[in-house]
Structure formats: structure tokens, C-alpha cells
């Protein structure tokens, strides 16, 4: 198959090598190695912070955390997190801090201060939920990852969730998976400064192999929906445009602010409280741009419900038109696509994908294409050719599988 897969897609081997690196760095074996996956969102974009519906799945690219307790109250985090360029992992310097100072450091860093904001932010968020960082033992954490950074596949949620499940178990905190998802989200919102919703951490913690996670972001009820992709001869291709994005800046926050402003104008607690019947009232009350933002959220919620019903009743091969409609709505109404994402969607559809859409927060990152396995090579070749013809950087294209959520690996 003519696709390129990010390096290190072997779960046991990477857990072992992360443990070995931990041992080289600390002189002792870790107490355990935990891992958490990135995600693709099948459908339901920018609906999570509007308390609507999302339907992501965890993927077979993960972050590993090798963790060992210390007796001196120090937290020391090291990483070999990989970039998007496929050059592999190179260890970076440690972040070392007395555990008792984590809350202050995280709240004053104000922040987006690099990779250490994610694991340290998780420790801070755990302290909000009862972990007493002044009395708990210190900890060494070493992180490795195969989730490409900046590709919109939730590399940050994977770090947060791997750290959270490890510390939750080692420190005996007894928090549930939904509580750990909230911890990861809080770390992202406060320590990293990205005003994101609950979707990515929920997918990373609740995912199950070959299932999508249908999440009601208001009640937090999660239902696992069998996808049956392999059985139907389908592949889920990721087309990473390599256009890097960040949710701590600009467009993401302004979309969220527009939704909040619309709620005030329309007198509803959240856009979740509006359905298709409310569109005329919204159009009358809002300026054109804000109305289009609201229309995206309302119609996208409905598309999530339709997608889940379609998968259940007719199988995943039938969801293509819903994926296409979702992309159009993000391109035209929410205006979070970029030319590279639009081209990835158009070229993959023209080459035989059943449906395609950008995935994640937008402004760069990746698209997904649902492809009959027999067409994978053709779609890959034609998307690459279209990018070449447009003068865009070569995209990284690889299949992903719906995979298990965060777990202890050794
Ligand atoms: C990013 C955020 F982290 C999610 O919470 C979600 O809002 C998504 O963008 C857009 O659907 O991944």
C-alpha cells in the first residue's frame, strides 16, 4: 500500500522502549507504563463546548508515560515527544519542580509554555480534585509519543490522559474515567490556555477497539457504537496537510466566543438548546456571520445523530454524505477550513472516497476520508498529485484504526 505511517506504531514495543529510556534517565525501572491514544473525530465538530453531540474514535497512535514514584516530593518530567517531520524521538531536557509548587507554577505560567504544560497541568488539575501535592510523594514521568504534533489528532489530550491515568493509579486517587477527562480538559484550558471542550480527552479515555464514542457533551453519557470498518472492507485514511494549528490562539477562541454571544442574544443557556426549527428565529436575531456559526452548530448536532443512526441501521459505508455535508458546513458556515483541507477532501472524494471531512478544531491539521480498502492506493496517489499541482507541501497520508482507550501497558 502506498501510504506512509508515522513511526513506532507498535504498542508493546513502544511501552518497553519507553520503560528502557526511563531506566536510562533515572537509574531505576518505572513502577509502570501507561498509554493513551490520540483520536480522529468522525463527526461533530465544535459541538462539544456547545454541550451538543460528538462521535470520535480513539486511534492506534498513542502517548506512553513511564512513571516511577520518588521519595523527595520532586516532580521531574522528561520527554522524547516526536514532531510531525518523521525524524523520530529525541529526548529533550527535563522539567523539574517540587510537587508543592505545581499549582503556583501552572497558574502563573499563563502559559502555552511548551510540552511540560500538559503533564504539569494535569498534576495541577488533579490537585483541584483532592490530590494533596504537598504531602504526596514526588514522581518521575517520561513521555514518548507516536501521535503527530499539530496534526489535529489530539496529541495534547494523549499526553494529558496518559499522565492522568498513571498518576491516578500510582497515587491511589480513585478518579473515574469521566473525572479524568475533566482533569485533562481543565489542564488544557487553564495550564495551556486553550479554551477546548471535553471531546478529545473523552475519546482518549473511553475508546474501545473498532468502536466510535458517541458522547452527549451535556449529560456526558457515552455510548460505544460498533463501526465494523474492517469487516465492511473500509479504511479510515488520515490526510495530514502538515499545516500546523494551535487552539491556544485566534480562531478557535473567537468561534467559541461567537457561540456564547449568540446564546446571550437568543436567551438560551447553550446552542444545544436550539434545533433546526429555531433557525428562522436565529437568523432574524443575529448578524449574518454569527447566524452562520450558529447554523453550523445546530446542523452539525443533527448530523451526529443521523450518523450514529446510519451506522447502526445501514453500516459505516453509508455515512459518506454526512461527512461531506459536515465539511461543507465547516468550510462555508463555521469558516475553519483552509485550502489544503478543502483540497484533501475534494481530491479524496474524486479518487473514490465514500466521504471526507476535516477533523478536529481546524485552521490546519488533518482531514479524514472513508475509503473502500481497494481504493486506498489510488486515493493516496491522487491526493498527493493534487497537492503537488496546487503547490502545497506533501501531505502525510496513513490509515488509522479505531482503537482502545487509555490503559496500563506494563
Ligand atoms: C479541538 C478541541 F480540543 C475539542 O474540544 C473540539 O472542540 C474540537 O477541536 C472541535 O470539534 O480538538
Q: Is the same domain home to 287 and 153?
A: no
Whether residues 89 and 195 share a domain: the answer is: yes
Shared-domain flag, residues 188 and 296: no
Residue ranges around ligand 1 (CB below 6 Å) = 41, 45-46, 48-49, 196-197, 199-200, 247, 360-361
- Residue-number span of the structural domain to which 199 is assigned: 11-225+404-408
Does some domain include residue 76? yes
What local confidence, expressed as pLDDT, does residue 398 receive? 98
294/306 same-domain check: yes
Is residue 145 one of the residues assigned to a domain?
A: yes
The pTM (predicted TM-score) of the whole model is 0.94
Kindly state whether residues 188 and 335 are assigned to the same domain.
Answer: no
**pLDDT tens-digit readout, 112-157:** 357 788 999 999 999 999 899 888 889 999 999 999 988 999 999 9
Same domain, 268 and 307: yes
Best mutation site among 360, 362, 366 for ligand 1, i.e. most ligand atoms within 8 A of its Cβ?
360
* Predicted pLDDT of residue 248: 57
User: What is the reported pLDDT for 4?
Assistant: 45
Centre of ligand 1 from the C-alpha of residue 105, in Å: 26
Residues 59-71, mean pLDDT to the nearest whole number: 97
Q: Indicate the pLDDT class of residue 83, thresholds 50, 70 and 90.
A: very low
Pairing of strands 74-79, 139-145: parallel
Q: Which of 140, 200, 240, 409 is catalytic?
A: 200
Residues 18 and 79 occupy one common structural domain: yes
Contact 390, 401 (CB under 8 A): no
Tell me, what's the pLDDT at 315? 98
**CA–CA gap between residue 174 and residue 242 (Å, rounded):** 39
Q: Is residue 4 part of a domain?
A: no
- Grid coordinates 461527512 are at which residue? 323
Q: What is the pLDDT of residues 282-316, one digit of tens each?
A: 999 999 999 999 999 999 999 999 999 999 999 99
Split into its structural domains, the chain has a count of 2
Specify if 3 maps to a domain. Answer: no
Asked whether the beta carbons of 198 and 182 are under 8 A apart, the reply is: yes
- For ligand 1, atom 9, name the residue with the nearest CA: 361
The residue ranges of DSSP E strands in 46-199, in sequence order, are 53-69, 74-79, 92-98, 139-145
- Mean predicted lDDT score pLDDT of the chain: 92
CATH number at residue 317: 3.30.70.890
CA–centroid distance, 46 to ligand 1, in Å, is 6
- Choose which residue among 39, 199, 244 to substitute to test ligand 1 binding: the one with the highest number of ligand atoms within 8 A of its C-beta: 199
In this predicted structure, the answer to whether residue 56 has a pLDDT above a threshold of 60 is: yes
Q: Is residue 93 part of a domain?
A: yes
Nearest CA to ligand 1 atom 7: 46
- Say whether pLDDT at 5 is over 70: no
Pair (45, 65) in one structural domain: yes
Minimal-distance CA residue to ligand 1 atom 3? 196
Whether residue 333 is contained in a domain is answered as yes
CA distance 205 to 263: 30
pLDDT at residue 84, as a whole number:
34
pLDDT band at 1 (very low <50, low <70, confident <90, very high): very low
**Look-up of cell digits 443557556:** 269
Q: Which residues pair with 371 in a beta bridge?
A: 235
Could you tell me the CATH number of the domain that includes residue 119? 3.30.230.10
Are 325 and 190 part of one and the same domain? no
In the predicted structure, residue 239 carries a pLDDT above the cut 60: yes
At 374 the pLDDT is 98
Mutate to test the pocket of ligand 1, among 37, 161, 188, 197 (most ligand atoms within 8 A of CB): 197
Ligand 1 nearest-atom number relative to CA 49: 7
Residues 383 and 396: their CA atoms lie apart, in Å, by 10
Comparing CA positions, the residue from 125, 142, 133, 29 lying closest to residue 74 is 133
- Does residue 138 fall inside a structural domain? yes
Ligand 1 atom closest to 194 (CA): 3
Mean pLDDT of 203-217: 98
**pLDDT given for residue 284 in this prediction:** 98
> Given the CA of residue 157, which atom of ligand 1 is nearest to it?
3
Domain-embedded: residue 1 = no
- Residue 324 annotated among the catalytic residues of the structure: no
Q: Are residues 120 and 247 in the same domain?
A: no
pLDDT above 70: percentage of residues in the chain: 92
Write down the pLDDT at residue 144: 94
Residues 260 and 363 both lie in one domain: yes
Instruction: Say whether both 198 and 246 belong to one domain.
Output: no
Amino acid at each position: 500500500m502506498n501510504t506512509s505511517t508515522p513511526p513506532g506504531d507498535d504498542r508493546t514495543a513502544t511501552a518497553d522502549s519507553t520503560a528502557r529510556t526511563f531506566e536510562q534517565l533515572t537509574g531505576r525501572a518505572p513502577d509502570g507504563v501507561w498509554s493513551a491514544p490520540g483520536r480522529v473525530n468522525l463527526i461533530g465538530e465544535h459541538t462539544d463546548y456547545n454541550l451538543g453531540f460528538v462521535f470520535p474514535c480513539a486511534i492506534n497512535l498513542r502517548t506512553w508515560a513511564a512513571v516511577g514514584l520518588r521519595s523527595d516530593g520532586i516532580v521531574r518530567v522528561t520527554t522524547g515527544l516526536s514532531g510531525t517531520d518523521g525524524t523520530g524521538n529525541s529526548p529533550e531536557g527535563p522539567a523539574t519542580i517540587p510537587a508543592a509548587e505545581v499549582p503556583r507554577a501552572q497558574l502563573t505560567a499563563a502559559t502555552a509554555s511548551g510540552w511540560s504544560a500538559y503533564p504539569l497541568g494535569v498534576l495541577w488539575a488533579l490537585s483541584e480534585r483532592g490530590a494533596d501535592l504537598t504531602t504526596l510523594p514526588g514522581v518521575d514521568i517520561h513521555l514518548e509519543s507516536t501521535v503527530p504534533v499539530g496534526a489535529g489528532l489530539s496529541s495534547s489530550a494523549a499526553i494529558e490522559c496518559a499522565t492522568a491515568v498513571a498518576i491516578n493509579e500510582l497515587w491511589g486517587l480513585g478518579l473515574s474515567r469521566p473525572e479524568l477527562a475533566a482533569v485533562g480538559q481543565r489542564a488544557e484550558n487553564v495550564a495551556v490556555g486553550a479554551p477546548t471542550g471535553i471531546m478529545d480527552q473523552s475519546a482518549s479515555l473511553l475508546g474501545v477497539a473498532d468502536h466510535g464514542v458517541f458522547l452527549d457533551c451535556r449529560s456526558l453519557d457515552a455510548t460505544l457504537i460498533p463501526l465494523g470498518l474492517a469487516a465492511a472492507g473500509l479504511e479510515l485514511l488520515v490526510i495530514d496537510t502538515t499545516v500546523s494549528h494551535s487552539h491556544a490562539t485566534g480562531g478557535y477562541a473567537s468561534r467559541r466566543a461567537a457561540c456564547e454571544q449568540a446564546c446571550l442574544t437568543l436567551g438560551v443557556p447553550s446552542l444545544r438548546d436550539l434545533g433546526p426549527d429555531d433557525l428562522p428565529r436565529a437568523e432574524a436575531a443575529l448578524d449574518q456571520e454569527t447566524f452562520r456559526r450558529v447554523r453550523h452548530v445546530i446542523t452539525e448536532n443533527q448530523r451526529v445523530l443521523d450518523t450514529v443512526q446510519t451506522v447502526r441501521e445501514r453500516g459505516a459505508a453509508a455515512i459518506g454524505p454526512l461527512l461531506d455535508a459536515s465539511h461543507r458546513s465547516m468550510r462555508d458556515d463555521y469558516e475553519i477550513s483552509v485550502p489544503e483541507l478543502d483540497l484533501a477532501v475534494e481530491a479524496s472524494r474524486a479518487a473514490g472516497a465514500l466521504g471526507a471531512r476535516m477533523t478536529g478544531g481546524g485552521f490546519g491539521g488533518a482531514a479524514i476520508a472513508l475509503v473502500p480498502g481497494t481504493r486506498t492506493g489510488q486515493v493516496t496517489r491522487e491526493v498527493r498529485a493534487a497537492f503537488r499541482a496546487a503547490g502545497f507541501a506533501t501531505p502525510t497520508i496513513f490509515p488509522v484504526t479505531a482503537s482502545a482507550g487509555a490503559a496500563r501497558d506494563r
